[in-house]
Amino acid sequence: MRIDDETLMALADGELDRAEAARVSAAIADDPEAQSRLRRFTETRARLKALSAAASHPASADDPLIARIRAASVPAQALADAPVQATAPANRNRAPLAALAAALTVVVVGLGWWQMGGPASGLPEAEVAALDSLPSGQAVLLEDGRDLTMIASYRTAEGVFCREYETARDTALTVSVACRDGDRWQQQFASDLTTADGYVPASGDIAALDAWLADTGAGDPLTPEDEAAALAQ
Amino acid sequence: MDPDFGEALIRLLPNLRRYALSLARRGDLADDLVQTTVERAIRAAASYDPSVRLEPWLFRITRNAFIDLTRRQRTEGVQVDVFDIPEALPDDSDRAIEARLMLRATQEAMKTLPPEQAEILHLICIEELSYAEAAEVLDIPKGTVMSRLSRARLALGERLGIK
């Protein structure tokens, strides 16, 4: 019986339970071919393990972090006595945002992002092409000189496939979300992230995006595999 | 925040930086990632379930922070190595020199792998996460961890001439 690579790897990595490990070891005892395949897994692991023992870079940046962590450490009793505070959503932890979605939607309208309810023809062809095929994390140069970076793909709670991307020209940066509607793409919003001094806010400050994510119940970004499958549809 | 949690977090700072470097490959970005991870970990400390290991919980935060960060940082900077392998010294034995060359070869081979392969090798063979923990960090099924890891191991073995 041929033992497959993944089983041999699991043996090398100590991922098999004792009975299974004994069974596989016995099965390959007289099988030099399987043993040599096993060796590729034990050997690669040993080489990487040796690397991990090598000195890491000196971490001078750790000292302020250690101070920061210690400052945040309070005995459990003091914590229990402290009043519960609602923290502002300073990052993209999405759970707290869900509760704030309604409020945020109102606020971000005030901040000047706009809803695009218009026809899909509003999207330039080059953007549509990128939406149809470009994997997240990759960038293309559009014909009009803008630089488009695909950021992430999502599925909304209703199962609609949506993609977040950025377009940049010089210091002007726009983050957009478009969702697939049949064979067309509908832009959900486009939010200009550029301010007068060229300051680009940290991602957690993209209120429009966070509100959209919370509103539509979009979960974490799709994995590359799931995204590829959705694009192939 | 519980002081024990804080001390555990401090102990894992070198691991976090190493993982952050493996993701970002830039010292400044890795520092940002570690800092973001620490801030988020402090804020989310109450939601940490002490019955699971802290490493995968933190790595997941780091990885999400990296995904966030890549939204902002597209420019290529000076790439750095994850491991700082010292230069050979004149009085090193042949064996020490050979060991160092081997470390370097491993590090170079890792750089030539596709990022998703290098990442899974890092999590499992360097940070020593279990398959289940790596599946949690990467948000993929365990079966995918195994197939990706096995491809990555064979690719690395090939580059290192391991037959």
CATH assignment at residue B14: 1.10.1740.10
For the ranges A56-60, A116-120, A123-127, B159-163, which has the lowest average pLDDT? A116-120
CB contact under 8 A, B3 and A65: no
Q: Does residue B19 fall inside a structural domain?
A: yes
Establish if B87 touches chain A: CB-CB under 8 angstroms.
no
CB contact under 8 A, B17 and A51: no
Amino acid letter, residue B154: L
Q: Does residue B90 fall inside a structural domain?
A: no
> B 26-85 residues with CB below 8 A of A?
27, 31, 34-36, 38-40, 42-45, 64, 67-72, 74, 80, 82-85
Q: What is the residue-averaged pLDDT of chain A? A: 75
Q: Does residue A148 fall inside a structural domain?
A: yes
Q: Does residue A58 fall inside a structural domain?
A: no
CB contact under 8 A, A203 and B68: yes
Given strand A172-181, what is the order of strands in its sheet?
A: A114-115, A184-192, A172-181, A161-169, A147-155, A139-141
CB contact under 8 A, B13 and A59: yes
Residue B63 near residue B138 (C-beta atoms within 8 A): yes
Do B64 and B29 share a domain, yes or no?
Answer: yes
| Residue of B5, B76, B125 best to disrupt the A interface, most CBs of A under 10 A | B125
Can you tell me the distance from the alpha carbon of B37 to that of A71, in angstroms, rounded to the nearest whole number? Answer: 16
The predicted model gives B124-139 an average pLDDT of: 95
**Chain A contact set for B7 (CB, 8 A):** 73
CB contact under 8 A, A51 and B103: yes
List, for residues A190-225, the tens digit of each pLDDT value: 877 765 444 455 444 567 777 778 788 887 788 888
Q: Does residue B84 fall inside a structural domain?
A: no
Can you tell me the distance from the alpha carbon of A93 to that of A144, in angstroms, rounded to the nearest whole number? Answer: 35
The owner of tokens 């940046």 is A61
Q: Could you list the residue range(s) of the whole structural domain that residue A37 is in?
A: 5-53
Strands (E), chain B: none
**Chain B contact set for A35 (CB, 8 A):** none
What is the model's pTM? 0.56
Do A40 and A111 share a domain, yes or no?
Answer: no
Q: Does residue A65 fall inside a structural domain?
A: no
Q: Does residue B59 fall inside a structural domain?
A: yes
Report yes or no for ipTM above 0.90.
no
The predicted model gives B123-137 an average pLDDT of: 96
Q: Could you list the residue range(s) of the whole structural domain that residue B42 is in?
A: 1-73
The predicted model gives B45-59 an average pLDDT of: 93
CB contact under 8 A, A62 and B150: no
List, for residues B11-27, the tens digit of each pLDDT value: 999 999 999 988 988 88
Q: Does residue A168 fall inside a structural domain?
A: yes
pLDDT over 70 percentage in chain B: 94
Do A122 and A17 share a domain, yes or no?
Answer: no
CB contact under 8 A, B68 and A15: no
Question: What CATH number should be reported for the domain holding residue B119?
Answer: 1.10.10.10
